[in-house]
A and B are shown apart, each in its own frame.
Chain A
Amino acid sequence: GAGVSQSPSNKVTEKGKDVELRCDPISGHTALYWYRQSLGQGLEFLIYFQGNSAPDKSGLPSDRFSAERTGGSVSTLTIQRTQQEDSAVYLCASSPILHQPQHFGDGTRLSIL
């Protein structure tokens, strides 16, 4: 079956603009995760969803970041008023349930000019 799909694969935008990143998880996976990977760094956990619910939003870097998941499927990560430090690869992953191996998408490479 299809893997985790992320769109767009690349996004270049000007500082101050809002961006929306999309993640389509593997069908039937109840858990969905968002990470940020900066150049030469590991993965920074942002948020996870169990179904449509995000139990803990404290991993989001600032209040400019928000995420939602609808219908237990597609999730969007929104960054408002983008800053240059937001430039990174944003990875999405899903798993059948929590604590199971995560299946990752190819990521969205975000560049803020």
Chain B
Amino acid sequence: AQTVTQSQPEMSVQEAETVTLSCTYDTSENNYYLFWYKQPPSRQMILVIRQEAYKQQNATENRFSVNFQKAAKSFSLKISDSQLGDTAMYFCAFDGSGNQFYFGTGTSLTVIP
């Protein structure tokens, strides 16, 4: 079965600094999709960034970028120029060819003014 591991339950970063959240996963599949979602204190989950496994190029979305290492099954999220609004729980998610979807346990990020 697929698993997604986020080894950092909590992290903090100073405003304007850069922070990297780690995610590893386990799968025997070759084609799949990886996501980072953000859940602010208001509770609604929103997409941060998406990566297709067949693409070698790392996905980038403004201040958010990923370091996708397929062989190592690693999918870390880098947030540059951190802002107070980035304070949230961040979830890494795996979407493969099966009929189930896997989320990690999340990393609680606090941006310190």
> A41 to B105, Cβ gap below 8 A?
yes
Q: From residue B59, how far is it (CB to closest CB) to chain A in Å?
A: 12
Which label, helix, strand, loop or mixed, suits the secondary structure of the B interface?
Answer: strand
> B45 to A93, Cβ gap below 8 A?
yes
Interface residues on A, range: 20 to 34
The stretch among B69-77, B79-87, B95-103 that forms the contact with chain A is B95-103
> A56 to B99, Cβ gap below 8 A?
yes
With beta carbons under 8 angstroms apart, the residue of B4, B43, B47 that contacts A101 is B47
- Given known pairs A102-B47, A105-B44, A106-B43, the reply for A42 and B99 (CB within 8 Å) is no
> B99 to A55, Cβ gap below 8 A?
yes
Chain A positions near chain B (C-beta within 8 angstroms) = 33, 35, 41-45, 48, 55-56, 58-59, 89, 91, 93, 98-99, 101-107
